[in-house]
Structure 1
């Protein structure tokens, strides 16, 4: 073989090896004609890239070949992932292809969750895709609302502390300290008072016993009195009280009426005028008696016998008594 032919063969082998190696690194095995290709649509791929592994029940059966955007207007922006399966294991079109992350530091991979219902999947079919959130993504999604709440709490706490700082100035702190000191003094006074009360109780324990015993006796006596009162005929007492009230009412009616001497004396104006006129005449008589006693009484100091008691004196005495009686009636 000439040198030119050898050089050409070596160049062709190098090119074929380069193309095969390049495609192999991209996940395409040009020498394997049994590989089946499938497509999956995702709204996001979460770190999935070309040459990411495809597993089936944990066993690697293929790898990702292409990731491109969907060009249809209704699904614009979504991603189409093309992957190849080199294993001849059969699964149906209802199988689900899920994006998952084996560990937080590794890239995402595809996992086929096989289903065996319905028609079996063939090369070129489009399968249903799902995304399994990674640990950090799940934690981040749960921490986002917690972060918002925490920020609100921090803002409120800052406002609260600002208000507390405005309130707790030096004057307020001094007032609080004074109040605490006063409370401590009050507690000390209460303790001293309790101690004195305890001493008082101990010193007067005998007196307290006697007082309690007397109270008990008084209670017993009151109970006996109440028992004795229950045996008294209350009906007779009530009847007597009613009779007394009736008698008083009758007396009051007689006094208010014109019948009887008391009623006439109280209510008869003419009798009152006669008594008043008699009183005036009696006063005039007494006044005349004082001014002119010789008209009614004759006596001598020397040489004559005293005269016997005359009817005039008797009359005068009777007039005095009558006057007193009239005054009593007027009152």
Structure 2
């Protein structure tokens, strides 16, 4: 069966019209599945809100605006919101209009925390918001008023000060400002010097920190030796602490007392040596005899040693008393 060109054109035209209607409804927010839910909100000012503007919850688009109706008096505008999915919206939720200077005005639903939910066709509570520009000017305007007042007050103060100051006071203020300039210049120089000191490469502080780092590095390398030294010191101090020094001192004192007793007593050998005069006299006599013998050998050596084969032995009388000694102390008798 052959299809005519007129039939083909008619079929394509019908298909195009259907697609156009479906696309228009889609742009308006209507769902093809028929699961749309409709809610309403009433505003005094919709701030440029129009059909097909998005409706968001927590930043996600969940529907679009499908109608705005203000009646004949336009005092209360009813906005029809079409959601393209079934959502649980608590009955204390609030819807607001979010204006935008550069973008598209949208509606935002702030979810509440009640367990009861809005039903399809209910009117959601609204909260009025100002436009972005109006809100900005409302915040800026009080600031501008306060700034204007402050400028006026400052101008009055400056006039009063200018009237009170004479020429001498003005010159003094000028000198003070010059001194302040010099002070700031000195501060700049001091700041530069401080910067040089703090320089990590050439500054004194940087070098000090490098030396400190070197010392700490050396200590870290010798940590084992230091710990061993401290261990030895601890052992030594522990050994000294364990010594019974009091007992040793007591014993030493007893020994000294015994030595004193023995030295002061004439019954012992040491006491007799120190306290008995006969030992001194005997030693003195022995020394005199030795001196006499030495002098006799020096004066008459042939009597004791023959140094000549043909010589004769010295038969003179031996010395009876030692010869006088002019260098050392004289002999005792």
Q: Which has the larger radius of gyration?
A: 1
Q: Does the TM-score normalized on the shorter chain lie above 0.5?
A: no
With normalisation by structure 2, the TM-score equals: 0.42
With normalisation by structure 1, the TM-score equals: 0.42
